[in-house]
Amino acid sequence: MLNSSATANDSRVNKNVIANTRAGIPIQRGPSEFVFVMLINYTRKQVSRFQSFKVSKWTIFYCNRDRVAVRYNAFMSQSASAIVRSPAEIVQNSPVSQAPNGICYARSGEITIADNDLERMVAAVPVPVAGALNRKAYYFVPLTVTQGDETVIADRYDVALSDNAVCHRNLDLGDSQCVFISTRLMDDKFSVAFEFYINVGHALVERAGVAQNFADLAWQQVESGVRGETSLDAWEARKFATAHGPDAEKYKNDYLTASFADAISIYLLSIYLDVDYYDLRERDYPLLAPTPMAERLRKIAEIFPPNPGFEFNIYYRRRA
């Protein structure tokens, strides 16, 4: 899902990236404490039946899962084409900040996300999760565009470039990795945040694997026949894992990897914003039922408690 990568070997860039990540020269640090208290604290209302639980109010446009990117500003006429630069130039010229949790990030070009929203988005990632992102830096840019075998970064939204734009691109520079996230393909901070958290979730799983207590819970749910899943990857892997074929064990591992990364991503989004359960629905597979979804998110909250200043809550409501 998030395995696309490109490689650059420019030694000057290598030095710059290394200098701009945690092990390098001084970087711009964010405030030591955050005072944003989210009204989504982890409490439960005991009800016998419910229509949904609420972990947000948002609209999802995460284009790495076969969604159509929303060109919310495509109607704007542009008198001149956007300026495109190589990822190496963006890395060299963009000052990198470090959030209190240790994640390195930068912004470049005309992006519409406010500085404080971007700070909160990055700071919402729990410290144990952020610890798995060592020597990674996230660059929030207008458009990341593929041109043949090359990747370029546009300094603003451009309709002419949008057809070849991608939601994100991972670029390896020496022993560091830069992740360029297109912010203008999506319509608002909700979608950008989920793209960022999906990347974070998969990076964590690739580095640390699947927590055993989550794996036990998720597979117990599968064996009990719970309806739906959290992504197309998890849905398809689950079908093969339960088909009792010769590769069933492999698909079981694929399923647990995908479902763990999905749960982390949704959990992070619910710390940063309000998330409505029904807004998670997809066209290509049935969404995991509310009760098992809530169980998975609670398990993630146990493994990765929210940072100070952020809270997690699940609200239930009765069917009207």
The 10s digit of each residue's pLDDT in 230-266 is: 999 999 999 999 998 999 999 999 999 999 999 999 9
Claim to verify: residue 110 and residue 19 sit in the same structural domain = yes
Q: Is 98 a member of any domain?
A: yes
Claim to verify: residue 175 and residue 233 sit in the same structural domain = no
Give, for 260, the enclosing helix (H) or strand (E). helix 248-272
- DSSP β-ladder status, 5-8 and 150-154: unpaired
The token pair that represents 106 in the structure block: 């930068």
Mean pLDDT of 29-34: 33
Q: Is 131 a member of any domain?
A: yes
If one counts the domains in the chain, the total is 2
CA distance 133 to 200: 8
Claim to verify: residue 254 and residue 295 sit in the same structural domain = yes
Residue 80: the pLDDT is 63
Q: Is 113 a member of any domain?
A: yes
pLDDT 10s digits, 71-123: 434 444 445 688 878 888 888 889 999 999 999 999 998 988 899 999 999 99
In 213-289, beta strands by DSSP E: 275-276
> pLDDT averaged over the chain?
77
Claim to verify: residue 240 and residue 96 sit in the same structural domain = no
Report the side by side order of strands in the sheet with 136-141. Answer: 5-8, 168-173, 176-182, 136-141, 104-107, 97-98, 28-29
Residue 201: the pLDDT is 96
Mean pLDDT of 292-314: 96
Claim to verify: residue 168 and residue 126 sit in the same structural domain = yes
Claim to verify: residue 211 and residue 243 sit in the same structural domain = yes
Claim to verify: residue 218 and residue 146 sit in the same structural domain = no
Residue 64: the pLDDT is 37
Q: Is 105 a member of any domain?
A: yes
Residue 128: the pLDDT is 95
Residue 318: band (very low, low, confident or very high) from pLDDT cuts 50, 70, 90: low
CA distance 306 to 171: 29
CA distance 298 to 76: 43
Which residue would you say has higher pLDDT here, 5 or 124? 124
Q: Is 201 a member of any domain?
A: no
pLDDT at 28 > cutoff 60: no
Claim to verify: residue 214 and residue 177 sit in the same structural domain = no
Q: Is 249 a member of any domain?
A: yes
Q: Is 65 a member of any domain?
A: no
Claim to verify: residue 213 and residue 284 sit in the same structural domain = yes
Cβ neighbours for 208, distance < 8 A, ≥ 6 positions apart: 132
Q: Is 258 a member of any domain?
A: yes
User: What is the rounded (10 degree) CA torsion for 165, 139, 117, 25?
Assistant: -170
pLDDT 10s digits, 115-159: 999 999 999 999 999 999 988 999 999 888 888 888 888 888 888
Claim to verify: residue 24 and residue 151 sit in the same structural domain = yes
Q: What SS3 state is found at 224?
A: coil
- What residues pair up with 181 in beta bridges, in sequence order? 140, 168
Claim to verify: residue 11 and residue 141 sit in the same structural domain = yes
Q: Report which of 195, 184, 18 is spatially closest to residue 91, judged by C-alpha positions.
A: 18
For 70, other C-beta atoms within 10 Å of its C-beta total 16
Answer whether 64's CB lies under 8 Å from 2's CB.
yes
Q: Is the model's pTM score more than 0.85?
A: no
pLDDT 10s digits, 33-78: 322 222 333 223 332 222 333 343 332 333 333 333 444 344 444 4
Structural domain boundaries, residue 95: 5-30+71-185
Q: What is the Cα 84 distance to its own chain's centre?
A: 25
Which residue would you say has higher pLDDT here, 184 or 54? 184
Claim to verify: residue 179 and residue 272 sit in the same structural domain = no
Mean pLDDT of 186-192: 81
Comparing 11-20, 27-36, 132-141, 166-175, which segment has the lowest mean pLDDT?
27-36
Residue 145: the pLDDT is 86
Domain final position from 185, 216, 248: 185
Mean pLDDT of 19-33: 37
